[in-house]
Amino acid sequence: MTLTHRDIDFTLKRKRFQKHTYIRVKSDGSIIVSTGVLTLKSTIYTLVSSKYTWIKKQQKRVSKTTHQPPPNKTYLKEKAQNIILPLIEKWSTIMIVSPTHIGFRYNKSRWGSCSWKNRLNFNTRLATMPPNFIEYVVVHELAHIRHKNHSQDFWAEVEKFLPDYKERQKLIK
């Protein structure tokens, strides 16, 4: 059911066992209000009215985000391999460490990892990042071959090879 309150159009979804009322602004800017079957329309309108500023702010935020198609994961993986494998070869020789495996995955949150068996995995999205940051991630993961934690010794190892690693870390943000 589509309703309008003030200048906000929203879709109302009533759910049988829902106790609370929720407002969601979708990525296309549309609004969905979900609530229990017994909730009064006046209660819904009061909630929408009280959240008016928040709703408009969220709609503005999602309208600014560019709706890009999802990345071609195969292309990203190939590009990441072409960039990262030579860096691993270079830095593993300099650092005198040897990974047992190198893998590539499309992850949302982690740039790289090193297992207890010295298996390195890298996020294929690194292919879209600046070269200085990619190099930092490679050295960071290779340093984990010697130090399996983020101790002072680990950071000393990273700093030994990348004295500007703190500046490179900032590129993440």
If you write DSSP's letter for every residue of 54-82 in order, what string do you get? Answer: HHHHHHHHHHHS--PPPP-HHHHHHHHHH
Strands 112-114 and 22-25: unpaired
Among 129, 127, 136, which Cα is nearest to 105's? 127
Residue 55, φ and ψ in degrees, nearest 5: -60, -50
Q: Which residues contact 127 (CB under 8 A, 6 or more apart)?
A: 76, 79, 80, 83
pTM attached to this predicted model: 0.61
**Domains along the chain with CATH numbers:** 2-64 (no CATH), 73-170 (3.30.2010.10)
Per-residue pLDDT of the chain (173 residues; tens, 9 = 90+): 778 777 889 999 999 989 999 999 988 889 999 999 999 999 999 999 999 999 999 988 887 765 566 678 889 999 999 999 999 999 999 999 999 999 999 988 899 999 999 999 999 999 999 999 999 999 999 999 999 999 999 999 999 999 999 999 887 76
pLDDT computed for residue 64 by the predictor: 73
